[in-house]
Amino acid sequence: MDRAPLVTAFVASYNHAPFLEATLDSMLGQDYPALEVVLVDDGSTDESLEIARAVAQRDSRLRVFQHPGGVNRGISPTCNLALEHARGDLLAWIGSDDLWHPAKTKLQVAIFEEHPDVGMVYARARPLGSEGPLDAAPRGGVIGRGLPALAALISGNRIPASTVMFRRKCIEQVGSFADDVLYSDWELWMRIVARWEPFFLDRPLADYRYHEDNVSLGVDSRTTLERLLAALDSIENQRGTVGGRLGEARIAIRLALQRALLTFALDRDRESRALTRHALELAHRRHRNEVLFWLLDVAWRPPGAALELETLTDYCDVLTESWNPSARVEAEKLSCAATSLWHGVRSHRAKRPTEARRHLLTVATGCPRALMHPPVRRLALEYLVPFRSHY
């Protein structure tokens, strides 16, 4: 590259004094020359603001701001204030208790330089406890490109926020963080992917810290479901203004089904049934596979840990009842495939191959179209092809 584009790394800081200096050092220690850091303190009551100002005194690349009056306004308004002060063409967020790996910025900028259609780049994040690394798999995973990427993202957030870098043009086009949505990172990623391509770097580039003050830990299942639904409701309300892939029928079907499942789990039965009927009317004959693929996505990776198998099974009954009578046999096959896949995936992850093989055989024989779903096909190849070779 002739001239390195300016990257603004921004952080919304709130009561993470024990971790903040390490976070800022990981940002300022990037192997990339054209970097500025913007920190907005969200009314911290510990020493966070003093720590940030001390780091800014020794490194002028860091600029520190507050809300007027030093009040607490929440993460979304704090991120948006940071974006107002950002001067870079590329923008990267990090939690005020997380860490970046030194090569993160350089690697992600290179992707933007090579791929002008890419709007955001993300990677894996390693789990980190207050005492050091945790023995757990890194978070994050590939969501693909185009319509499949947005469809996968609607089914659940697979993008660790502290690994993301995105173009300023993205938020100029689709808007910044939604002030009234707690899971505003996921909501913004969906809007960006509606208009731009995502790019996944399959390696850890950040460490995500788990501790008792994490906003998403220790939250009861109902609250989690409500937060997920609020993000999806926000997307539905902006489909017309954001446009792009959000205007596609397949995405409208998936969005309606995901909201129907969550409203059902929240005991809002009437609303859930109305959303289900709307989705099936959109699907009709041309997009019926979208209903199947959505069900398989939910079975493969439920939205959060808040959704139980019993809830999915009960919702499948609602889905079956909502089909036209002539299609109910097919709907029952789809429901059976989803519940069998749920068991098969969990047996696979628990290293119980005999059980996994039995459940996947039920999926493949009861609903062969399920093998069109890439994750299902990969798992079936692992278990069913060796199984068949014995005969």
Give tens-digit pLDDT for 362-383.
999 999 989 988 888 988 888 8
Check pLDDT > 50 for residue 10. yes
| Residue 68 to residue 63: CA distance in whole angstroms | 16
Amino acid letter, 259:
R
Question: Does the structure show a pLDDT above 50 at 24?
Answer: yes
Query: Hunting for tokens 């996947």 — which residue is that?
Result: 360
pLDDT for 150 = 95
Residue 389 pLDDT exceeds 70: no
Is 14 in contact with 75 (CB distance < 8 Å)?
yes
Q: Could you tell me which of 193, 91, 209 has the C-alpha nearest to residue 142?
A: 193
Q: Tell me how far apart the alpha carbons of residues 111 and 113 are, in angstroms, rounded to a whole number.
A: 5
> pLDDT of 224-243, one tens digit each?
999 999 999 999 999 999 99
131 has a pLDDT exceeding 80: no
Average pLDDT, the chain: 91
99 forms bridges with which residues in the sheet? 207
Q: Quote the percentage of the chain above a pLDDT of 70.
A: 94
Encode pLDDT of 297-335 as tens digits: 888 876 655 678 888 889 999 998 888 777 778 888 888
pLDDT, one tens digit per residue, over 174-213 is 999 999 999 999 999 999 999 999 999 999 999 998 765 6
Q: What is the pLDDT of residue 1?
A: 46
Q: Which uninterrupted H or E stretch holds 9? A: strand 7-13
Beta pairing, strands 197-209 & 118-129: parallel
Q: In this structure, what token pair is assigned to residue 81?
A: 């204030």
Is the confidence at residue 132, as pLDDT, over 80?
Answer: no
- Token pair, residue 266, equals 């929240």
- pLDDT reading at 391 higher than 50: no
pLDDT of residue 147: 84
Burial of 330 (0-12, 13-18, 19+ CB in 10 A): middle
What 132-135 contacts at long range (C-beta under 8 Å, 24+ apart), as own/partner pairs, is 133/207, 134/210
| Average pLDDT value for residue range 240-251 | 94
Query: Number of C-alpha atoms within 13 angstroms, CB side, residue 136?
Result: 16
Is residue 219 pLDDT above 90, yes or no? no
Residue 328: per-residue pLDDT: 79
Read off φ and ψ for residue 376, nearest 5 degrees: -65, -45
Q: Where are the alpha helices (DSSP H) in the chain?
A: 17-28, 48-58, 75-85, 104-114, 146-155, 168-174, 184-195, 221-237, 239-242, 249-265, 269-283, 288-300, 309-322, 328-349, 353-366, 374-389
